[in-house]
Chains A and B, each alone.
Chain A
Amino acid sequence: MSTKTPSSADILRPLQNTSKRFYLVFAVAALAFGLFLAGWVYQLQHGLIVTGLADWGSGGGVTWGLYIGAFIWWVGIAHGGIILSAAVRLLKMDRYMPVARLAELLTIAGLSAAGFYIIVHMGRPDRMVTSILGNYHVTVHNSPLVWDVTVITLYFVMTATYLLLTLRYDVTRLREGLPNRFEPLYKLLTLGYTEKEDEVVERMVWWLALAIIIMAPLLLHGGVIPWLFALIPTMPGWFGAIQGPQFLTIALTSAISGVIILSFGFRKAYDWDHIITDDIFRGLTLWLGFFAMLFLWLQLQQLVSGGFAAPIDQSVTFDSKVTHPAYVIPMGMVGLTLAYIFAQTVRPSLFTKARAIIAAVAVLIATLVEKVYFVVAGLMYPTFGLYEATPGAYFPSLIEISSVVGTIGMVTLFFLLVAKVIPVVELHAIEHLNETREGEHDGERGGGDSEPLTETATEPEVTA
């Protein structure tokens, strides 16, 4: 751990200095996003025929593909982000406080990317408002897609509220150091702020966090998103009760990976090694391992029940899984990550930040590929498989592939811009870090309590 003392000047640095590298990253991200936007305009002109999609059945294709897979992926990342931040507030896992706001911002950005995918995926996005909202009172009773839109919107609003509430404290106290050109925005943000509200806000945030923690598994990634698929009885690759828990584990693995990469980027860019400490990375990696284990365990459940004495349609799905590279390789990647994290708990010296990053990237790629495979395989092996053209063929077109790069660019742009307007590390985190410095181990011990079991192995490392 560094000997530097965390100060509010540290967290104001992104708002005050803009390096050359910032512009470079900005340009690359903008280019990626721009390229995809161009591709999307082309798609709007020519129709979804520009994708690799086609009709399932006699058509010999699949009707949902990478767009939907990437949609799930982004919701997963978004979803886990908010869970992580809520856990910090609810379970008092104070050690992760410095990355809590990053996780919240990741939720906003991830949900935006997911929302964007819904629009990109449609044949007639221009009718979104009239057709969906206009018939909402009818369709909300039946259509899982409408549930999705509802819950995603709800989540967006809740996260934004959460973020805005916690920002008031910081903006008031750091106003001096914030760039003047956003003055009206800060005024608006802190409208009517008094110190008396801090306590109230803290309580409100606590309740919001509780609501989010409860809602997440029930409604979002353990609920309506998997239900989009799990409720379709005629696609054996999808149907069934396990999709809820399975999706949740995927969301959490990918979200933690996202936070790891994000934290690493900010730490490197702004010399925050005394704020986002090695200890945080180590802890996040352990959590990643824990959820990766659950992820693989639930996959195993499906393989066993699909491979033993399954009905015909399900055994076809099983055969595809165990032979298809788009399933086998991602599983292998998550498995290797898990193996590394296990090894790291046993031999703490194996941990390096670079390895943590590699693990995170591997998991993100694996979850994306697995998700796309999941969507596609469901449609490839329907119960009614009489069509000679099933399983259909699918390979994403260049425009579809660029959508992934484009939305990553979009999310990057979001962070680059937000970091110029508000502090992405909470003032509370700095205050807390300084308290723990004075009180030595107390705070750290408190944080360790709710870690996964594997944590005990690294306890000695925490203070290293």
Chain B
Amino acid sequence: MSTEKSDATETLEALHTNEWEAEMRALLEDGDADADLGMAMAKDAQRLVAGELTEAEFAKRYHDAVLEEFDVDDQELPAALASIEDGDGLDDAALADRLAALEDGDMDRREVMKKMGAAGMFLGLGTWATTENADGPSPPASTAGEDEDGTQYGMVIDLEKCDGCLACVVACSQENDTSMGANWMYVFTYEDDHQDGENFLVRTCQHCTDAPCEKVCPTTARHTRTEDGLVLTDYDVCIGCRYCQVACPYGVNYFQWGEPDTPQAELDPDHVYDGRDRRVDSRPPKGVMGKCTMCPSRQDGKMGEDKVGSTACADACTMDAIHFGDMNDEGSDPNEYLERVRSENPNDREHFPNRPADTVNTFRLLEELGTDPNVVFVGNEPGPNATQVDGPVAYEDIGEVDRRKEVLDDGTFAGGVSP
């Protein structure tokens, strides 16, 4: 890549407009990455395109900085960088293909950047790829496979199957040793104006893709695991400000107000630290926030290979209502289940060809809030006037507590009793 200096300047000017910079910066600042690092990289990447910088220089300049900034993502990055570093005989077209594939059509650009870890690198190389291919055949931009989306764990919960037995509630509290009343799994029985009889809503954390709890956290303790989209709390970082609990629309957070019912010594260390060795699983220690985790130590194989892809609550459900898995994978348990339910309930299209293919109703809870939740429910959504009623099984019947304040009031120092 040895171009004339003047050519380089021209190319740079063409690439580097003010809008470009503003847009890049906005994108970068949206992500978690260090915006300055990203900008510097993107600019240098342009220099690279213009021929002012060699690939080796570029790679050297940023390799360490990138690893440091994105220590979590050091699986994908080195690979990407390495392919530039041993650059002799670098197959530009292949690299461009790969990058362009990442930039594929509707796929959320921010999502890509998150996954790549190095936002700036992506943007910069994206520019490179575009220029490189300007006069070549256009890259097969829209052929990226489904699995390019990465894993996003979530659930399909069939509310029509649920019978309100609360087995999942018990299973979760036993699995995670949560304190009395911290019902990470919670099952509502409710009545609604336009629905007959008993209805259920099985409520975990929704592991939102745009999680408000994560946004407001002043410490990054509440975070999304890049590898599988689980929203977790780092028990070693959380300062217990409870802003996540305030901002979560669903009320799924349970703070550890006092000493946990189960002492630290009795917890299985393999169930406390996830595959990244961060303390995010099991009940939180005193003064720290907890909520449904979707069982990351299971997913990371720390509880044994047979438990990968399962959760305690789903295992416990004898009605086959809870289905956990990768929502982006067509073949995962939740998606297959949904497919099956749909095919079992076909619509009468012979007589009414305009009807949808099936009669299955699905919804995501409070989807209108823009949290992009990753739990899909089969069944009816509770309306705004729905009211919770006593279920077939009471929390107290199975050794749990429904209203946690009753337990917490015992620890309140004078006053504070529910009026």
Chain A residues proximal to chain B, CB less than 8 Å: 39, 42-43, 46-61, 63-64, 121-125, 127-128, 131-132, 135, 137-139, 141-146, 149, 232-235, 312-313, 379, 382-390, 392-399, 401
| Residue pair B251, A393 in contact (C-beta under 8 Å) | no
- Known contacts A54-B404, A131-B239, A135-B220, A59 near B254 by CB under 8 Å: yes
- Identify B252's interface contact among A57, A132, A395, A398, CB under 8 A: A57
Point out the residues of chain B lying under 8 angstroms from A141, CB to CB.
Answer: 29
Within the complex, the shortest CB–CB distance from B281 to chain A, in Å, comes to 18
Contact present for A389 and B402 (CB under 8 Å): yes
Identify 15 residue pairs between A and B in the complex whose beta-carbon atoms are under 8 Å apart, listed by A's number: A47-B287, A49-B258, A50-B411, A50-B412, A54-B404, A55-B251, A59-B254, A59-B408, A60-B403, A124-B287, A124-B288, A234-B248, A386-B188, A388-B388, A401-B415
Interface centre among A47, A392, A397 (most CB of B within 10 A): A47
Given the known A-B contacts A51-B412, A55-B245, A58-B404, are A393 and B218 also in contact in the complex, defined by CB atoms under 8 Å?
no
- In chain B between 376 and 408, which residues have their CB closer than 8 angstroms to a CB of chain A? 382, 384-389, 402-406, 408
Q: How far is the CA of A214 from the CA of B414 in the complex (A)?
A: 44
Whether the pair A398, B414 counts as a contact (CB closer than 8 A) is yes
B415 pairs with A47, CB closer than 8 A: no
Which B residues lie within 8 Å of A397 (CB)?
412-416
Tally chain B residues at the interface, Cβ within 8 Å: 69
A49 partner, pick from B32, B34, B412, B414, beta carbons under 8 A? B412
B251 close to A58 (CB less than 8 A)? yes
CA–CA, A392 and B186, complex, Å? 17
Docked pose: A63 CA to B213 CA in angstroms: 14
Q: Is B240 an interface residue (CB 8 A)?
A: yes
On chain A, the residues within 8 Å of B212 by CB distance are: 232, 234
Interface residues of B in 240-263 (CB under 8 A from A): 240-243, 245-259
Give the residue of A47, A58, A125, A385 whose beta carbon is less than 8 angstroms from that of B402.
A58
Least Cβ distance of A372 to chain B in Å?
14
Q: Indicate if B264 sits at the interface (CB-CB under 8 A).
A: no
**How close is A405's CB to chain B, nearest CB, in angstroms?**
14
Number of A-B contacts (CB under 8 A): 212
Whether A396 contacts B254 in the complex (CB less than 8 A), given A143-B243, A234-B249, comes out as no
Residues in A with CB closer than 8 Å to B417 are: 52, 395
Given A124-B240, A144-B216, A395-B416: A48 in contact with B246 (beta carbons within 8 A): no
A-B pairs with lowest CB-CB distance, top 5: A123-B240, A57-B251, A52-B416, A123-B287, A49-B258
Known contacts being A56-B245, A123-B286, A146-B218, is A47 close to B258, with CB within 8 Å? yes
Distance in angstroms from B395 CB to nearest chain A CB is: 9
CB closest chain-A residue, reference B412: A397
CB distance from B225 to the nearest CB of A (A): 16
Asked if B201 CB lies within 8 Å of chain A CBs, one says: yes
Residues of B within 8 A of A388 (CB): 387-389
